[in-house]
Structure 1
């Protein structure tokens, strides 16, 4: 999976959607001053940013398996406890956080239930454990135009529809199977205006995530055909794209 890329490349690809989503997610989690929060799978810091704004850097910890992402997160948020690691094996003691959250991460965990169980372990009793994932099952993620065009160019490509946590029912089930109690969920939407096709398309060419893997597998000719289909479908710009995620939260 293509996440060993610079934080800037990821930001250009997904940050324009993940940052506003993270603000809404922090609201949904009920993050408030005085709490201590853990950002699991922090990436370059989309969720870390609103956590720091609400709690202060010394009340936030962040963890990710990508060294380039960690370097970006450390540079952006001095004072945050930023660590290398995975959700499935969190390097924190039991019950040390008030909130543990994963923004756009559950579907990339090797063991989503194990990862959420670890998040619950490091959260104080009755603290909040939450996650948000794009609605991949219904193809309502920011990558929707790519997968729609891919269906024409490479109809056998599975896309992301079957990723665990990519529907409301799947995300809620992951939390409940991890032992999180009183789980509730909500839709969160983000609308972004892209001024030109080129502004939207260029960040997809940096090899980030499943889309980056899919584009690499197409080869030069396939990418040209895909781009032609996308230009036909989206036009030269400006155009708006709306992405929808499911968020779920419960009690440790």
Structure 2
């Protein structure tokens, strides 16, 4: 049983939304989508990727789709210029062939049937459209989560089964490539995007884990205060804390891109 919670936009922003924005800033130019394109952002969340598209790609339109009303409330407030609708990756509220770019940030691994979702991406893609996504490298490269789950494995071994590194084998280059090729996409490519995640203090690192949004914070919220404190102390003991109290980590995302050539 998982404890993923996706409802409160501000808490999600503090946890990983702010880092997703940095990944999106590298992801959008890599797609090389011409100006004036019609974009669909699937699983748009609080609008990190949508905002990058508006800032960097000169789109004709951007439609963000997400199942969470709470996330969309934050997105609408933060990202003027885009349209946002409640919807599912398995049944997009978009006409067939209506998009020149279909993208998804940090969402495809949470969809119950990723194969069906990418087939839906392809359904709404126009001939020549780019279909692309990025996900965290949960198993190795997402250091802020790796330190947390390493502590959980010591304090509460039963909780370690919720670690996204084990739960999401899709979030690696080879499975992403296979998923895109199986959907009939051409010119499939995968790349890593690495960003710094600097925390001013341990509290700056730890506070977002108390917000209840996502796998780790959702799990933590189910524990009694004594276990929360034990995990906090175990994490603190592992983190590379500089003399000034800051904590310099990195986060890696895997990005995949393909082109839909059939009409």
With the shorter chain as reference, the TM-score category is: over 0.9
CA gap 1:128/1:142 in 2 versus in 1, 3 angstroms: farther
Structure 2 residue aligned with 1:37? 39
CA gap 1:141/1:31 in 2 versus in 1, 3 angstroms: farther
The two structures have a TM-score, normalised by structure 1, of: 0.93
The correspondence for 1:80, drawn from 72, 79, 82, is 82
Does the 8 A contact of 2:17 with 2:48 survive in 1? yes
Structure 2 residue aligned with 1:184? 189
* Mapping for residues 29-68 of structure 1, pairs under 5 Å: 29-55=31-57, 59-68=61-70
- Aligned-residue Cα RMSD (Å) equals 1.7
CA deviations 1:195-229 (Å, max 9, x no partner) are 10001110110111111222123321111100001
Does the 8 A contact of 2:36 with 2:59 survive in 1? no
* Mapping for residues 89-168 of structure 1, pairs under 5 Å: 89-138=91-140, 140=142, 142-156=144-158, 157-158=160-161, 159-161=163-165, 162-168=167-173
Structure 2 residue aligned with 1:203? 208
Gaps of 5+ in 2: none
Does the 8 A contact of 2:96 with 2:124 survive in 1? yes
Q: 1: CA distance between counterparts of 2:220 and 2:29?
A: 35
Asked if 1:232 is matched to 2:237, the reply is yes
Does the 8 A contact of 2:29 with 2:57 survive in 1? no
Q: 2: CA distance between counterparts of 1:174 and 1:154?
A: 34
Instruction: Give how far 1:141 is off.
Output: 5.0
Instruction: Give how far 1:139 is off.
Output: 5.3
The correspondence for 1:170, drawn from 161, 175, 180, is 175
Does the 8 A contact of 1:97 with 1:124 survive in 2? yes
Structure 1 residue aligned with 2:5? 2
Q: Which moved more, 1:14-23 or 1:172-181?
A: 172-181
Does the 8 A contact of 2:36 with 2:60 survive in 1? no
Q: Which runs of 4+ in 1 moved over 4 A?
A: 55-58
CA gap 1:40/1:164 in 2 versus in 1, 3 angstroms: farther
Structure 2 residue aligned with 1:245? 253
CA gap 1:103/1:142 in 2 versus in 1, 3 angstroms: farther
The two structures have a TM-score, normalised by structure 2, of: 0.90
Q: 2: CA distance between counterparts of 1:32 and 1:11?
A: 29
Q: 1: CA distance between counterparts of 2:33 and 2:206?
A: 34
CA deviations 1:44-75 (Å, max 9, x no partner) are 11101111113457511100000011111112
Corresponding residue pairs, total: 251
Instruction: Give how far 1:124 is off.
Output: 0.8
Q: 2: CA distance between counterparts of 1:73 and 1:107?
A: 21
